[in-house]
A = this chain, B = another copy of it.
Amino acid sequence: MKKELSTPSLSRLCAIYELLVDFEKKGIKRVSSTELGKTLAFGSHNIRKDISYLGEIGSYGAGYDVGKLRRHIGNALCLTKKRPACVVGLGRLGSAMLAYKGFEEKGYSIIAGFDSDINLLDIIKTTVPVYPAHEITEIVRIKKIELGIIAVPASAAKDAAHKLILGGIRGIVNFSPEVIPCDDKSVHVANIDIIKEFTMLSALLSIDEQKNMAL
């Protein structure tokens, strides 16, 4: 990569990549920046600029070759690498994650689950090996797990993150509202907070309502 990619660019490239995977399955051969933009709700300028960060690839006048572009983005961002992952917290949300087939389809493998409740580990129905929470650090290290999903209550989130990081985890998807302190720059955190999304939507609705009142 020549230049540092910005976060929004990277995010769009990932979206483009996923779309190209689908297009390839459907047998679509060529696609233009305008078409990609329409499907993903980005401007065509944006699409071309993001793609050209990775070097020239398209054909002037004929758009992009779907397979070629997919491999191009995939190689540049190593998206074809299979990254082992785990789930911490096997309540309703966590066990939904354990059972979700989308991971395997997209090249991720969930190879461990953890919970602090030993009884739960006995009765849970899953093909994924499960372990007590105190073994997180050890298992992550032994199995070289790179990605972790935190699906525990807020009060336990920081401890879970700490154990994962000690084991050498490199990426965390955090479903709890807690901010994960991440002084270690080599660990990346993505936060998913359903309540915060609800709050944002509520605020947007309120702003709409105030606008309509003013009319």
Task: Give chain A's interface residues, CB within 8 Å of chain B.
Answer: 1, 5, 10-11, 13-15, 17-18, 39-41, 77-79, 81, 83, 85, 91-93, 95-97, 99-100, 102-103, 106, 108, 146-147, 149, 170-173, 177, 179, 186, 188, 190, 192, 194-210
Contact = CB atoms under 8 A, between A and B. Distances in A.
Contact of A173 (B13, B100, B149, B197): B197
6 closest residue pairs by CB, A with B: A78-B206, A171-B201, A92-B96, A77-B203, A190-B197, A14-B199
10 contacts: A14-B196, A14-B203, A77-B207, A79-B203, A83-B198, A92-B96, A93-B93, A102-B194, A188-B204, A190-B197
Copies in the complex: 2
A96 B92 CA distance: 5
Given A14-B199, A78-B209, A196-B18, A40 B103 contact: no
Contacts of A99: 92
B207 A103 contact: no
A97 to B, nearest CB: 7
Contacts of A39: 179
A198 B103 contact: yes
From A18, A149, A199, residue with most partner B Cβ within 10 Å: A199
A174 to B, nearest CB: 10
